[in-house]
Amino acid sequence: MTPKYDEGTIRTLDWQEHIRKRPGMYIGKLGDGSAADDGIYVLLKEVLDNSIDEFMMGFGKKITVGIDNDRVFIRDYGRGIPLGKLVDVVSKMNTGAKYDSKVFKKSVGLNGVGIKAVNALSIDFSIKAVREGVAKEVFFSKGIKTGEKDYKGLDEENGTIVSFIPDQLMFKKFRYKSDYVVNMLKNYTFSNSGLTIEFNGEKYISRNGLRDLLEENMDHDPIYPIIHLRGEDIEIAITHGNQYGEDYYSFVNGQHTTQGGTHLQTFREVLVKTVREFYKKDFDPSDIRASIVAAISIKVEEPVFESQTKTKLGSKDIGPDGPSVRAFISNFMHKELDNFLHKNPDTAEVLLRRITESERERKAISGIKKLAKQRAKKASLHNKKLRDCRVHFNGKKERKDESSIFITEGDSASGSITKSRDVNTQAVFSLKGKPLNTFGLTKKVVYENEEFNLLQAALNIEDGLDDLRYNKVIIATDADVDGMHIRLLLITFFLQFFPELIKKGHVYILQTPLFRVRNKKKTYYCYSDEEREKAIKKLKSKPEITRFKGLGEISPDEFKHFIGEDIRLDPVVMKKHESVSQMLEFYMGKNTPTRQEFIIDNLYVEKDEVA
């Protein structure tokens, strides 16, 4: 029977109800803090953006951030929100000073929405504004005002103080990871030279902007000194290494645009044009950009982002009366980069050598690539390795962020996942046995090895991540020695040839339960011995306990519980101080006695800790 459609079905939601009902519109995905783009980090960022805007307007050179258990605290030393409008700016949609471009000329927070989302999605939210010894503080829960206080005669610096606890109902079992928070805060300092951010007692500050960012993030020495160019409303840093792939960082008005946008696209194109003109050679773009590590930061009036989370710039112009983003970046780079290369012939010579080396390697494997592509195309017609999802069958690119691919080994494991997956957004790629250890090999192996060639084709990452077909690349292997080895071999492959896949947070490990504990009324799936013991106590009887030895032993009906809404994923994360080359050399190289000694020592430590 068709549901009745009349006046009674029409609802008007309060602002906080709409945010809580459709949080994805405001903060992207919810998540639990295990991934860097989960909602709890977006909440922190939305508050920080307002403090950054104060700094950019010349008010307050310090921001204090604290996280204690679940509570987040942010204090800036800007002008402080006008007290009479304090309630409105956190509880009335489309309210804020950012609509007045004279007050906030080149800000990030434009629509007056972000801080309201933080308020609505927090179980406990407070905001306090201090202006010339007078202050006002307002308290909310889930966007509903619960109280307020007025202060007079304060001996306290001007500024705004925000405190909040994300709502556990929205962010299930969430936890802030300090590595993600520190990385976010450092990026703010790199793109805002002179700003000090203090986090839980540690201070972060950058004097050299994007040059500091490259030095911080490169895990090896650059092949030539970093080219650092600064102008009004633009800053660029460029160098090359010996790694595979291209590595970029981009910022707009102090905001880290993790998905790039018009400014990054223009930078990549103009770099090629400028280098070609300097050397008077028509180099292939891939040879110029191979192994590049670069960053670009620009300031734009009234920037247009492609989502509320502001991760991708859509603006085509610098401002209402300014040039286009393309013309602005192009004019700056043609002049400054060309001048730099003319004034620094040693750097120009090293760069030329790197480009020609890339050209030689590309030509050396061009024939292999052609055959490999033909093989991949032929295999795709009757490819049993890849069971794709409807996002790609139907060309629904807008759902790409929801898509994932499970990389698994063996027919039984891939069969269970295939039968229980969400066919709309989840794909499966089946490996045949253990993949090759690619450490120390050249990229030629990607095309010579059928498994890796087909995997690369399935992900569509040959030319970088711009056309990556799945947002999450999930390694799904048995929780035993062989499964762990396959994980290592796949991670080695990605780190060796496609490191940006891991650096940009796309690779995960699927966690599946080790035990099933059940009686006739209740079933618990347990991921550790501790969870198993808790389940046994909860059942208060002698339950049936099953130990899952492999993915293939879990039935499809059960498997759908582990790859659905409650999926447990561990992100593969590179810590900033870790060198990819040194790490791969240690774990995947031929230093067997040293590695064996390390494993034995750490096994004993683990036993002592357990004891």
Residue 590 lies in a domain: no
Residue 459 lies in a domain: yes
Q: Does 430 share its domain with 337?
A: no
Q: Does 62 share its domain with 83?
A: yes
Q: Does 465 share its domain with 406?
A: yes
CA atoms within 13 A on the CB side of 347: 19
Q: Does 342 share its domain with 412?
A: no
Query: Is the pLDDT score of 606 beyond 60?
Result: no
Residue 4 lies in a domain: no
Query: Is the pLDDT score of 111 beyond 50?
Result: no
Beta strands in 304-431 (DSSP E): 386-387, 404-409, 426-431
DSSP letters spanning 576-609: TT--HHHHHHHHHSS-HHHHHHHHHHHHHHHHHH
Which residue do the tokens 């253990």 mark?
A: 434
Which residue do the tokens 């500050």 mark?
A: 205
**What would the pLDDT profile of 564-576 be if each residue is shown by its tens digit?**
878 888 889 876 5
- Residue 151's pLDDT is 93
Residue 1 lies in a domain: no
Task: Work out the burial of residue 107: count CB atoms within 10 Å of its CB; fewer than 13 is exposed, 13-18 middle, 19 or more buried.
Answer: buried
Q: What is the CATH number of the domain that holds 133?
A: 3.30.565.10
Percent of the chain with pLDDT over 70: 87
DSSP letters spanning 405-436: EEEEESHHHHHHHHHHS-TTTEEEEEE-SSPP
**What would the pLDDT profile of 115-126 be if each residue is shown by its tens digit?**
999 999 999 999
- Please tell me the least confidently modeled range out of 365-369, 516-520, 554-558: 365-369
Q: What is the CATH number of the domain that holds 326?
A: 3.30.230.10
Residue 591 lies in a domain: no
- Residue 429's pLDDT is 93
**What would the pLDDT profile of 489-526 be if each residue is shown by its tens digit?**
999 999 989 988 988 889 999 998 889 999 988 999 89
Query: Is the pLDDT score of 34 beyond 70?
Result: yes
Model confidence band, residue 68 (pLDDT cutoffs 50, 70, 90): very high
Model confidence band, residue 110 (pLDDT cutoffs 50, 70, 90): very low
Average pLDDT over residues 274-289: 96
Q: Does 104 share its domain with 34?
A: yes
Q: Please give the Cα distance from 341 to 337 (Å, whole number).
A: 6
- Residue 609's pLDDT is 35
Q: Please give the Cα distance from 513 to 525 (Å, whole number).
A: 6
Of 443, 444, 467, the C-alpha closest to 457 is: 467
Q: What is the CATH number of the domain that holds 420?
A: 3.40.50.670
Q: Does 178 share its domain with 48?
A: yes
Task: Work out the burial of residue 74: count CB atoms within 10 Å of its CB; fewer than 13 is exposed, 13-18 middle, 19 or more buried.
Answer: buried
Task: Work out the burial of residue 21: count CB atoms within 10 Å of its CB; fewer than 13 is exposed, 13-18 middle, 19 or more buried.
Answer: exposed
Q: Does 28 share its domain with 176?
A: yes
**What would the pLDDT profile of 394-448 be if each residue is shown by its tens digit?**
555 556 778 999 999 877 778 888 899 999 999 999 988 888 989 888 888 888 8
Q: In angstroms, how far is CA 365 from the centroid of its own chain?
A: 32
Query: Is the pLDDT score of 98 beyond 60?
Result: no
- Three-state DSSP at 122 gives strand
- Please tell me the least confidently modeled range out of 182-196, 352-366, 370-384: 370-384
Q: Does 447 share its domain with 526?
A: no
- Residue 590's pLDDT is 75
Q: Does 71 share its domain with 164?
A: yes
Q: Please give the Cα distance from 476 to 181 (Å, whole number).
A: 28
Q: Does 356 share its domain with 221?
A: yes
Q: Does 508 share its domain with 527?
A: no
Q: What is the mean pLDDT of the chain?
A: 85
Residue 305 lies in a domain: yes
- Identify the domain boundary among 362, 392, 417: 362
Residue 10 lies in a domain: no
In order of 450, 466, 491, the CA distances from 501 in angstroms are 20, 11, 10
Average pLDDT over residues 450-476: 89
Number of domains, the chain: 4
Model confidence band, residue 604 (pLDDT cutoffs 50, 70, 90): very low
**What would the pLDDT profile of 227-262 be if each residue is shown by its tens digit?**
999 999 999 999 999 888 888 999 988 888 888 888
For 174, the domain range is 16-205
Q: Does 383 share its domain with 459?
A: yes
- Residue 32's pLDDT is 86
Q: Please give the Cα distance from 152 to 28 (Å, whole number).
A: 40
Query: Is the pLDDT score of 103 beyond 50?
Result: no
Residue 584 lies in a domain: no
